[in-house]
Amino acid sequence: MGTISVGAAAHGVPFVKLSECGETVKTFIENIPKTNPDVSVPEYVIMPNHIHLVLMIELKDTNGTPKAASPTAE
């Protein structure tokens, strides 16, 4: 999804230069909250051959308030 490059502006710190496929993945990740209102993506990193992302899922009841966790029976 990209290649590792060394940036002059970042004092030689390596970064991933996204390929066309990587740019497509970035667009899809950034659109997750738009297409799924109960899901947000607070952090993500696109690596050369995989991604890391955090998905936050907040289910709401029909009144728009967050649902509380239900205890499980033992």
Token readout for 61 is 């009841």
Cα–Cα distance for residue pair 29/53, rounded to 1 Å: 9
Q: What is the pLDDT of residue 59?
A: 77
Q: What is the pLDDT of residue 40?
A: 94
Is the model's pTM score more than 0.75?
Answer: no
Alpha-helical segments (H) within 3-53: 20-35
**Tens digits of residue pLDDT in 28-73:** 999 999 998 889 999 999 888 899 999 999 876 666 666 666 666 6
